[in-house]
Amino acid sequence: MARVSNLPVDPARIAEVIDGLAGITEPGRPYTRRAFTALFPAGRAFLEEKFKAAGLETRIDAAGNLVARRAGRKPGLGTIMLGSHSDTVPDGGRYDGIAGVAVALEVARALADRGIALDHDLEVVDFLAEEVSIFGVSCIGSRGMAGVLPEDWLSRQSDGLSLEAGIRNAGGDPARIAAEARRDIAAFLELHIEQGPVLETERLDIGVVTAIAGITRIEIVVEGRADHAGTTPMGRRADALAAAARLVTGVEALATSLAAGPGHFTATVGEFAIEPNAANVVPSRVRLLIDARAEERGTMEVFAASVEQLAANVARETGTVVGPPRRISDNMPTPGDPLVLDVLDAACAATGASHRRMASGAGHDTAFMAKVTRAAMIFVPCLGGRSHAPEEFAETDDIALGAAVLLNAVIQLDEKLQDVIQESV
């Protein structure tokens, strides 16, 4: 990967923020700082101190997001927003989300260092609970900011604490989430580690994210018949597990075939439960859950139809009852905004960063910000593609180069977004 000298950002300042947050972790569990737990406010306090030291005005919005603002020269023009999240998964990484917050802050600092005044307001945001939280749901802050947080989520409970109370404890005001939904954001940008091996393998500096894959989860239940494992002849069984195994290998074959086509696609049987789960009993029931992710919606529909046919074939061939595959969640892909993607390509070229366009197979806060504004992401490489693990690692120089790309993109967008407004008048 290229190393570009004389970057307009300070790698040491970026590393200081990442290392500072890394030090705020549950004892013996690097790096664990989950939203709504005791250490999360300490991380927030650390960030707020850094934001204020950079001359930014800070506040907590109704959804519990930490927002830092640098006023622009033209009030009312709108906000260019940068950010990510500082919460982690249990025993998770020190860069996932955190690198994006550190870089957003560094862009604000670099603008001040260079004496660059934007016409738009600039905001840096640390979204609340991007990771799956103790309440079993994710992207709480970005959903709230976009005005799409389901109201019934507020009553979700964890150890006697409701999500409503959790947001309030984080400084938010759940009663005002809908009223404070943002409509003033002119563009949103997020830097994130790739969480995959593509950039490292291809020795590229930046991934310009074309889309965040849609995620569909499909449940299949197989009903067989419990019998004695030692006395029931092999040809006279209705073994639910044997049938389910065919489904698993069939899903893998389907996904492998679709992944060879255009666009990003994956499918995984990630949950699997067997009954009665006894060594001497022929399995009577199996439940499995498929996690499928597609950059193109059409590919997902092809996969879902193929799974239905697979289930019917397995039922016929095994004498089991394979319930019709049921979609228990179904989220559409989120494409990056074309104007912002072009700006990011140009920013990579101007910064001297090698890059490619690619999809994200993981979900991000950007998917919800895209509901209210132009939005896109960039990826930087991470070691071995590892993430959500203590071994997660990204080079400071790679992150700093990403920061320089975002800085260039922000400066371009400050002008181009005004041109778009003029053209539409």
For residue 316, name the pLDDT band (cuts at 50, 70, 90): very high
pLDDT digits (tens, 9 = 90+) for 188-223: 999 999 999 999 999 999 999 999 999 999 999 999
pLDDT digits (tens, 9 = 90+) for 69-96: 999 999 999 999 999 999 999 998 899 9
Cβ–Cβ < 8 Å for 87, 40: yes
The per-residue pLDDT for 423 is: 74
Hey, which residues does 214 pair with through a beta bridge? 294
In the predicted model, is pLDDT for residue 1 greater than 90? no
What structural domains and CATH numbers belong to the chain? 11-212+334-424 (3.40.630.10), 214-330 (3.30.70.360)
In the predicted model, is pLDDT for residue 2 greater than 60? no
pLDDT digits (tens, 9 = 90+) for 269-290: 999 999 999 999 999 999 999 9
The per-residue pLDDT for 409 is: 98
Tell me how long the chain is. 425
| Model confidence, pTM | 0.93
3-state SS assignment for residue 163: helix
The per-residue pLDDT for 425 is: 53
Rounded to an integer, what distance in angstroms lies between the CA atom of residue 200 and that of residue 384?
7
The per-residue pLDDT for 222 is: 98
Cβ–Cβ < 8 Å for 190, 80: no
Mean pLDDT score of the chain: 96
pLDDT digits (tens, 9 = 90+) for 22-58: 999 999 999 999 999 999 999 999 999 999 999 999 9
pLDDT digits (tens, 9 = 90+) for 226-255: 999 999 999 999 999 999 999 999 999 999
The per-residue pLDDT for 70 is: 98
In the predicted model, is pLDDT for residue 421 greater than 80? no
DSSP 8-state class, residue 281: B
3-state SS assignment for residue 217: strand
The per-residue pLDDT for 424 is: 66
List phi, psi (to 5°) of 366.
-55, -35
Q: What percent of the chain has pLDDT over 70?
A: 98
In the predicted model, is pLDDT for residue 179 greater than 90? yes
The per-residue pLDDT for 266 is: 98
Beta-carbon contacts of 252 under 8 Å, excluding residues fewer than 6 positions away, are 267, 269
What mean pLDDT comes out for the span 93-103? 96
In the predicted model, is pLDDT for residue 378 greater than 90? yes
- Burial pattern 374-411, b for ≥16 Cβ within 10 A else e, equals bbbbbbbbbbebbbeeeebbbeebbbbbbbbbbbbbbb
The per-residue pLDDT for 3 is: 64
Compute CA 266 distance to the chain's CA centroid, rounded to the nearest angstrom.
16
pLDDT digits (tens, 9 = 90+) for 380-417: 999 999 999 999 999 999 999 999 999 999 999 999 99
3-state SS assignment for residue 115: coil
Rounded to an integer, what distance in angstroms lies between the CA atom of residue 89 and that of residue 85?
11
Rounded to an integer, what distance in angstroms lies between the CA atom of residue 46 and that of residue 25?
13
